[in-house]
A and B are shown apart, each in its own frame.
Chain A
Amino acid sequence: EPEVTQTPSHQVTQMGQEVILRCVPISNHLYFYWYRQILGQKVEFLVSFYNNEISEKSEIFDDQFSVERPDGSNFTLKIRSTKLEDSAMYFCASSERNYEQYFGPGTRLTVT
Chain B
Amino acid sequence: AQSVAQPEDQVNVAEGNPLTVKCTYSVSGNPYLFWYVQYPNRGLQFLLKYITGDNLVKGSYGFEAEFNKSQTSFHLKKPSALVSDSALYFCAVRDLRRAGNMLTFGGGTRLMVKP
Contact = CB atoms under 8 A, between A and B. Distances in A.
A102 to B, nearest CB: 6
Q: Looking at chain B, what size class is its interface with the partner chain?
A: 20 to 34
A75 interface: no
Interface in A15-55: 31, 33, 35, 41-45, 48, 50, 55
A43 B104 CA distance: 8
A42 B49 CA distance: 19
Interface stretch (B22-30, B79-87, B93-101): B93-101
A43 B90 contact: yes
B102 interface: yes
A35 B90 CA distance: 14
A105 B105 CA distance: 17
Q: How large is the interface on A (under 10, 10 to 19, 20 to 34, 35 or more residues)?
A: 20 to 34
A42 B109 CA distance: 11
Interface string B27-64: 00000101010000111111001010000000000000
B106 A42 contact: yes
Nearest to A95: B101
Contact of A103 (B43, B94, B98, B104): B43
B101 A98 contact: yes
A106 to B, nearest CB: 5
Contact of A48 (B36, B45, B101, B108): B101
Interface of B: 32, 34, 36, 41-46, 49, 51, 90, 92, 94, 98-108
